[in-house]
Amino acid sequence: MELLELKELLSECWNIETCSPGLKDKWSEDNPSIGQCAITALIVNDYFDGKIMRCMSSSGSHYYNIVDDKIIDLTKEQFLGEIPLYEEGQERTREYLLSNEDTKKRYLLLRERLLNMIVYKKNGFKVCLDETKKNSFMSKEVSKEFRDLLKSCSRQFYVDKKGRVLQKKKK
């Protein structure tokens, strides 16, 4: 996987659930990388190895990577032009980051979303969650057929803009 491809996939996976708790009030779809730095640095490390680094920014600590002696920071857009103090960066281990339970939970969620996105993009499968919250997969054709069938035979369901089948609320 190329770094640019990983960044594009991650930008589709970041959301308020993967955002650091202290920055959730600042997170928005206009600035999706805010609060995602630690877990994104872990993902970059998964795919490209290298070092996980921590430095300071105006909003607090910031994580990024060094791979092949190059700074890799897939969440720098969150600073809206400000440049974190990379020259003051200190290496951190995966174990250090994952020792924080919230970071670990958000990392596992982001990693799962990323893997699902990769499966979807490469194989044309949609991820569907059943009542046990376990992932199952349907091809695009089957999922479209399924959505169309639900639309035609039931007034209790509708398909939202993202293609999800949802149940209508009772009046």
Interatomic CA distance for residues 52 and 89, integer angstroms: 10
Q: What residue ranges do the domains of the chain occupy?
A: 3-120, 124-167
Q: Which of 99, 39, 88, 38 is nearest to 63 (CA)?
A: 38
DSSP string for the chain: --HHHHHHHHHHH--GGGS-GGGTTT-BTTBTTTT-HHHHHHHHHHHH-SEEEEEEETTEEEEEEEETTEEE-TTGGGGTT----GGG-EEE-HHHHHTSHHHHHHHHHHHHHHHHHHHHHHH-EEEEE-TT--EEEEEHHHHHHHHHHHHHH-SSEEE-TTS-EEEPPP-
pLDDT of amino acid 59: 80
Which burial class, exposed, middle or buried, applies to 150 when counting CB atoms under 10 A from its CB (0-12, 13-18, 19+)?
middle
Q: Which of 70, 3, 60, 66 is nearest to 34 (CA)?
A: 60
**63 - beta bridge partners?**
54
Whole-prediction pTM: 0.73
pLDDT of amino acid 163: 65
Interatomic CA distance for residues 147 and 72, integer angstroms: 41
CA distances to 42, 101, 109, 111, 138 from 127, rounded to whole Å, are 23, 26, 14, 14, 7
> What does the pLDDT profile of the chain (171 residues) look like in tens digits?
899 999 999 999 999 999 999 999 999 999 999 999 999 999 999 999 999 999 998 888 999 999 999 999 999 999 988 899 999 999 999 999 999 999 999 999 999 999 988 887 776 655 554 444 444 555 555 566 666 665 565 566 666 666 666 667 665
